[in-house]
Amino acid sequence: MLKTLDNALHLLRYFTRERPQWGVRELAREMNISHPVVYRMLATFERHGFLRQDEQTKKYELGITFLEYGAILRDHLSITQIIYPVMKRLAETTGESVILTWLDGMEGICLEMAESTQRVKYAMSVGSRTLLYAGASNKVIMAYLPPHVQEAIIAKGLKPKTDRTILDKDELLRDLARIRSEGWAYSVGEYTENVFGIAVPLFAYDKRVVASLTIAGPDYRMPADAVPAALRALKEAQQEIQTLLQRIQ
Amino acid sequence: MLKTLDNALHLLRYFTRERPQWGVRELAREMNISHPVVYRMLATFERHGFLRQDEQTKKYELGITFLEYGAILRDHLSITQIIYPVMKRLAETTGESVILTWLDGMEGICLEMAESTQRVKYAMSVGSRTLLYAGASNKVIMAYLPPHVQEAIIAKGLKPKTDRTILDKDELLRDLARIRSEGWAYSVGEYTENVFGIAVPLFAYDKRVVASLTIAGPDYRMPADAVPAALRALKEAQQEIQTLLQRIQ
DNA sequence: GCCCTTTGTTTCGCATATCGAACCGGTGTT
DNA sequence: AACACCGGTTCGATATGCGAAACAAAGGGC
């Protein structure tokens, strides 16, 4: 393990949605290291386009090299290549957005999205991270994780995303057990206000849950009695993807 | 400048579309450095999710952390935040895909795209790089670059992207001069077969060209006589974006 | 006008993290 | 069974990063 590189990559973690810009000394104070060290890291990242320095403010922010590597990554991710056509078709038949959420550690990450063709639709950015304890797309993954991982996620703390987010540990575990027994999840406004989600899990060859497939949109377009039809289409897509995944692994 | 970090970031450059996977010794040979060094870099990147190791083949490939940073970047890039709604509307009125190409060094990079709502449409991935000497979206940027930069781009070599790509230096320079005098570019099948592009430049506060806005789609939907109407809509969007850009700079 | 503070950037001697030859255990081929 | 490759590890020589101090430039208060 390279300490210099390790420190540098750790530094990047400070560039977040909430705090996308940092001055040299500012960041050095935050990280409790000397500012020349931070400066050298920032300057080296900048040479490679991973960071860019604002000409006026002199502050540093993420650079477009990340977009570039993101594009390469998505290109060769055979998984999304295979799954996307199915997602697209599902988005067209249901008229709602379809989202592929991947399991990464104790979080979810939006790997791919097929947008609804309607004007009013749910959209989220590919690459954005989500917490696993709220919303159908996330809970359906969490429901199939081993108990000690579920415990670990809960132990990290349940913060409300909306006022419908389940914050009680026992209630959440009961909900997850129900989802696991039924094989799918449905939620409204748990992760994002006024947004419904219907989600099913996707499994790897070894039966471990690796992702979820979700139909999402504005809640008024999915009353409870419309769910069964959408679920049927979703389960068909799930089947299809599952057999495709078998083939490549 | 940190040499260790510099070397490590240089290593990432080897993960391309054409060659997205590398074994340790394989990459070490390619880079002419010892394999323990490469191993340490790969392993450290992996710890942070910038690379992942394929369980079966043990080879390394780009990791989803790049998607994550790409999402953060796009989120806070005030430029795309401001421009996207205009692009979206233009895509809806024209029915074709609209692309925002940003100038980065001597290349273009697709910063944002509003997809056509039609079934058959032109699509490219956000973050992908393009060469500046072919296609309307690129040439309209190159046309406004200072002559020495144009020379430098040509000096790097003109390779055909399709059989319509202009490869003659003088012909290209004449074409760029014409584009500059007219203020827009139109091309068919120069960068991608059977794809048309109509493009206008976007300028920073100091009149330097920074990007281009392009309407693109399958060539059969844009015969020469349909261009003026599309161009009118495109120029309106250009005006709008230009005034928006003035405001933030 | 001045002082004072803060900024990003550079320098340099000391401390240490990195390098690479050699090695390990494992796998597949001949 | 000998060989050739692989990913991963070890350890001493040495190239490299660290951080106190200083730099020039910019901005605020008076």
Q: Is the pLDDT of residue B6 over 60?
A: yes
Of B219, B169, B161, whose CA–CA distance to B191 is shortest?
Answer: B161
**In B105-220, beta strands by DSSP E:** 107-114, 129-131, 185-188, 195-203, 209-218
Task: Give A249's pLDDT tier (boundaries 50, 70, 90).
Answer: very low
Q: Tell me the two tokens of residue B156.
A: 């790097």
In this predicted structure, which of A13-17, A68-72, A242-246, B177-181 has the lowest mean pLDDT? Answer: A242-246
- Please, which residues 77-116 of chain B have a Cβ atom closer than 8 Å to chain A? 102, 104, 109-111
Region B58-83 average pLDDT: 84
**Burial of A135: CB neighbours in 10 Å, binned 0-12, 13-18, 19+:** buried
Nucleotide nearest B1, CA–C1', reads D17
Dist. CA A193–CA B238, nearest whole Å:
35
Tell whether A41 is within 8 A of chain B (Cβ): yes
pTM, full prediction? 0.75
Residues B187, B196 contacting (CB under 8 angstroms): yes
- Distance to chain B for A118, nearest Cα, Å: 10
Angstrom distance, B201 CA to C27 C1': 57
The pLDDT, as a whole number, for residue A78 is 64
Percent of chain A with pLDDT over 70: 97
- pLDDT tens figures, A38-75: 999 999 999 999 999 988 889 999 998 998 898 888 87
Cα A2 to Cα B107: distance, rounded to the nearest angstrom: 32
Helix (H) or strand (E) holding B67: helix B65-76
Q: What is the dihedral of CA A175, A180, A182, A184, to 10 degrees?
A: 90
Pairs across A and B, CB distance < 8 A: 155
Closest to B72 (Cβ–Cβ): which among A1, A16, A109? A16
Structure tokens at A210: 């690796």
Q: Are B127 and A71 in contact (CB under 8 A)?
A: yes
Helix locations, chain A, DSSP H: 3-12, 24-31, 35-47, 65-76, 78-94, 136-142, 147-155, 169-182, 227-248
Strand C contacts (CB < 7 A) among A residues 50-89?
A: 53, 58-59
Which sequence spans correspond to the domains of chain B? 3-67, 77-248
Query: Which of B65, B92, B41 shows the shortest CA–CA distance to B215?
Result: B92
Nearest CA in chain A to B116: A117
What residues does A195 pair with on adjacent strands? Answer: A218
| Identical fold, B3-67 and B77-248 | no
pLDDT band at B185 (very low <50, low <70, confident <90, very high): very high
Nearest-angstrom CA–CA distance, B212 and B78? 17
pLDDT reported for residue B246: 66
Which tokens hold the place of A47? 């040479």
In angstroms, rounded to a whole number, what is the distance separating the alpha carbons of residues B164 and B160?
A: 8
pLDDT in tens, A222-240: 988 899 999 999 999 999 8
- The pLDDT tens digits of the residues spanning B131-176 come to 999 999 999 999 999 999 999 999 999 999 898 999 999 999 999 9
* pLDDT of B122: 84
pLDDT at position A119 over 60? yes
B4 touches strand C (CB under 7 A): yes
Domain A77-248's class? Answer: alpha beta
Is the Cβ atom of A46 within 7 Å of strand C at any atom?
no
Confidence at residue A246, expressed as pLDDT on a 0 to 100 scale: 67
pLDDT averaged over chain A? 91
Q: Binning pLDDT at 50, 70 and 90, where does residue B247 land?
A: low
What pLDDT is attached to residue A247?
58
CATH architecture of residue range(s) B3-67: Orthogonal Bundle (1.10)
- Which residues of A, range 8-27, sit inside 8 Å of B by Cβ? 8-10, 12, 15-17, 20
User: Cβ distance A103 to A77 under 8 Å?
Assistant: no
**What is the arithmetic mean of pLDDT over A109-134?**
85
